[in-house]
């Protein structure tokens, strides 16, 4: 065949140049053939090829064994032109089978070439081997080699696109699952932040996870849950005033228009999560996102929206519940003519001691927020006893002691964890380690841990505060008293922790002075 590419001699191509370097990563073409003319001519003809703005680079081998080495070293070969007969009559066929079956490579386009058609009949080879094309070398003119290569690279590109979409979807599902584990809005925001960074493999982008809520009074706030840059992993919600003004304005614009905004360097999604609630995801990047990554963000944003709504409602209820605990505790303390700051101080002290005891964090938080209810039973104590400036007589003291049981009775029937923990705190915080306390004269570890913690916190704060019947004690006097009551009034371990962290306790008390 007069114009057959491979009927030319090596002398006609001895001046072939190497592949030009391009800015984008080139497509890899493997040429595996024991004929040096074939290797050289293939490179000469295809060296200037470009597909989607990407050039090509060549990987060469002269045997099936060298071909295997190429595939071991490179997992992104787009096309492999494989000769049938090399070091053995079936070396190329064996390599093809190894690539597909052992290497598990289904993406590379494999084009088998032969100069001896009778050695490997086309029909049986196509039937028995997972190849994408089979060419007689005498058929491959320069034009046919180029068209074959164009078609194969585009096929490989499309397969890679499908694989990328599959992997991307798996990543979105996995990332969504990680976010679903969040139990607070802050952890939700942090999880979204982390998963977006992983999904998009971003290094220098700015990401803000924010939400807007309009209450029944039509008050609207935009709060940031988490962010990169200057606000990495925010520890609490920040109003938009703390966010760069241009970013804040863009997020507010999205909230007003109720439409997402996508540009070459910015992605701002708007997802409604309730009739009065919406969340906003702001992502900026140095290079434009491709369509797949934008789709991933769209899917991810939509999938986490329901989680956000559920967490927002749950957290609002929980925060309202906690706030009501403080309000109720304040009301009781004020009825006793004592400062309402007492309930806030003992809550913080209880939290510190519970955490130092290495209790489970949910239990630590329950103790903290139930602590304000420790004296709720005083609501049933007559005011003349509560307000008496001097020492109570025996009858008055007996009446005062009933506040522990009254508080327990008020709370014990609740099914809510905070109320049940509050019931125990109210009932047991006047029990003493040696069994001399009230109302049941329990001893040692028979007293629930929350009652033992409150016993220490309540006494420390009471001694450090002025009361109608006493003056404020100095810190050293409080510590000396605690030491004297170790193992009698107080659990020794908790007492030791309180003395060890006494300065921290005083700092906590200073947050809410009388």
280-307 pLDDT, tens digit per residue, is 778 877 777 777 677 777 777 776 666 6
Going by C-alpha positions, the residue among 436, 438, 484, 437 that lies closest to residue 463 is 484
Task: Point out which residues pair with 221 in neighbouring strands.
Answer: 213
Beta strands at 56-61 and 238-239: parallel, antiparallel or unpaired: unpaired
φ, ψ of residue 81 to 5 degrees: the values are: -90, 115
The Cα–Cα gap between 64 and 86 comes to 7
pLDDT at position 4, please?
A: 43
CATH of region 5-164: 3.40.50.2300
Spatial separation of the C-alpha atoms in residues 501 and 510, rounded to whole Å: 14
> Are 181 and 306 a contacting pair, CB within 8 Å?
no
d(CA 178, CA 195): 8
Comma-separated ranges of CATH 1.10.3210.10 domains in the chain:
336-510
Q: Facing residues of 227 across strands?
A: 208, 232
For 485-506, write each residue's pLDDT tens digit: 999 999 999 999 999 999 999 9
Least confidently predicted of 93-97, 122-126, 226-230, 427-431? 226-230
Residue 233: the pLDDT is: 43
Confidence at 449, pLDDT banded by 50, 70, 90: very high
pLDDT in tens, 164-219: 667 666 666 666 666 556 566 556 666 666 667 666 666 556 666 666 666 545 55
Q: What pLDDT score was predicted for residue 308?
A: 66
Domain 336-510 top-level CATH class: mainly alpha
DSSP 376: G
Please say whether the structural domain 181-312 has been given the CATH code 3.30.450.40.
yes
* Interval 386-406: pLDDT, tens: 878 778 889 999 999 999 999
CA distances from 146 to 44, 151, 428 (A): 11, 9, 87
Residue with tokens 């060298």: 66
The residue among 352, 329, 353, 512 whose CA lies nearest residue 419 is 329
In sequence order, the 6+-apart residues with CB closer than 8 A to the CB of 381 are 399, 400, 402, 403, 406
pLDDT at 96 over 60: yes
**Res. 147: pLDDT tops 70:** yes
Inform me whether the pLDDT recorded for 240 exceeds 90.
Answer: no
Is 8 among the residues known to form the active site? no
DSSP 8-class letter at 382 = -
- Please tell me the distance from the alpha carbon of residue 66 to that of residue 199, in angstroms, as a whole number: 36
Write the burial class of residue 286 (CB in 10 Å: 0-12 exposed, 13-18 middle, 19+ buried).
exposed
Q: How far apart are CA 42 and CA 16, in angstroms?
A: 10
- In the three-class reduction of DSSP (H, G, I as helix; E, B as strand; rest coil), residue 56 is classed as strand
Angle 464-474-511 (CA atoms, 0-180°, nearest 5)?
Answer: 45
Phi, psi of 59 (to 5 degrees): -120, 130
> pTM to 2 decimals?
0.49
Taking the C-alpha atoms of residue 286 and residue 170, their distance in angstroms, rounded to an integer, is 25
The pLDDT, as a whole number, for residue 232 is 45
The pLDDT, as a whole number, for residue 436 is 95
Q: What percent of the chain has pLDDT over 90?
A: 32
Across all residues in the chain, what is the average pLDDT?
79
More confident residue, 123 or 40: 40
Residue span(s) of the chain under CATH 3.30.450.40 come to: 181-312
Q: What pLDDT score does 471 carry?
A: 81
Task: For residue 227, count CB atoms less than 10 angstroms from its CB and return exposed for 0-12, middle for 13-18, buried for 19 or more.
Answer: buried
d(CA 82, CA 61): 9
The pLDDT of residue 355: 94
Please, which pLDDT band fits residue 457 given cuts at 50, 70 and 90? very high
pLDDT of residue 117: 55
Q: What separation, in Å, do the N-terminal and C-terminal C-alpha atoms of the chain show?
A: 104
Tokens coding 207: 């990401």
Note the pLDDT of residue 139: 75
d(CA 322, CA 494): 25
pLDDT for the residue numbered 138 = 75
Residue range 13-37: average pLDDT?
63
Q: What is the pLDDT of residue 313?
A: 62
Catalytic position from the list 293, 368, 378, 432: 378
């Amino acid at each position: 065949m007069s114009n057959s590419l491979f009927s030319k001699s090596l002398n006609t191509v001895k001046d072939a140049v190497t592949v030009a370097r391009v800015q984008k990563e080139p497509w890899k073409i493997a040429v595996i053939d024991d004929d040096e003319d074939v290797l050289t001519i293939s490179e000469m003809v295809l060296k200037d090829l470009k597909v989607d703005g990407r050039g090509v680079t060549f990987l060469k081998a002269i045997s099936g064994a060298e071909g295997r080495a190429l595939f071991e070293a490179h997992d992104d070969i787009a096309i492999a032109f494989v000769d049938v007969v090399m070091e053995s009559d079936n070396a190329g066929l064996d390599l093809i089978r190894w690539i597909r079956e052992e290497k598990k490579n289904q993406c590379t386009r494999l084009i088998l070439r032969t100069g001896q058609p009778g050695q490997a009949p086309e029909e049986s080879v196509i039937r028995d081997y997972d190849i994408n094309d089979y060419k007689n070398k005498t058929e491959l003119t320069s034009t046919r080699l180029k068209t074959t290569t164009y078609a194969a690279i585009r096929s490989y590109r499309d397969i890679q696109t499908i694989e990328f979409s599959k992997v991307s979807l798996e990543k979105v599902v996995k990332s969504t699952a990680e976010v679903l584990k969040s139990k607070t809005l802050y952890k939700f925001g942090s999880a979204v932040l982390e998963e977006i960074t992983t999904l998009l493999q971003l290094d220098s982008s700015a990401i803000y996870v924010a939400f807007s809520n309009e209450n029944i009074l039509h008050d609207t706030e935009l709060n940031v849950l988490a962010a990169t840059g200057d606000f990495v992993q925010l520890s609490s919600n920040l109003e938009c005033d703390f966010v760069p003004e241009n970013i804040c304005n863009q997020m507010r614009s999205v909230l007003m228009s109720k439409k997402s905004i996508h540009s070459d360097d910015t992605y701002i999604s708007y997802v409604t999560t309730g009739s009065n609630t919406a969340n906003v995801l702001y992502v900026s990047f140095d290079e434009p996102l491709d369509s797949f990554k934008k789709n991933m963000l769209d899917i991810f944003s939509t999938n986490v929206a329901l989680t956000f709504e559920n967490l927002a409602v749950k957290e609002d209820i929980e925060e309202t519940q906690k706030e009501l605990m403080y309000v109720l505790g304040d009301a009781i303390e004020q009825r006793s003519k004592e400062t309402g700051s007492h309930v806030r101080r003992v809550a913080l002290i209880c939290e510190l001691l519970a955490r130092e005891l290495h209790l489970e964090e949910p239990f630590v938080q329950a103790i903290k927020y139930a602590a304000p209810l420790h004296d709720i039973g005083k609501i049933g104590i007559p005011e003349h006893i509560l307000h008496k400036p001097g020492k109570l007589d025996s009858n008055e003291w007996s009446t005062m002691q009933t506040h522990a049981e009254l508080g327990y009775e008020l709370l014990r029937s609740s099914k809510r964890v905070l109320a049940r923990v509050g019931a125990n705190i109210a009932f047991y915080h006047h029990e003493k380690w040696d069994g001399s306390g009230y109302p049941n004269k329990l001893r040692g570890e028979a007293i629930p841990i929350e009652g033992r913690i409150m016993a220490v916190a309540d006494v420390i704060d009471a001694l450090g505060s002025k009361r109608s019947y006493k003056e404020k004690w100095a810190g050293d006097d409080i510590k000396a008293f605690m030491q004297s009551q170790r193992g009698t009034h107080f659990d020794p371990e908790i007492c030791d922790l309180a003395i060890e962290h006494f300065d921290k306790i005083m700092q906590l008390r200073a947050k809410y002075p009388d």
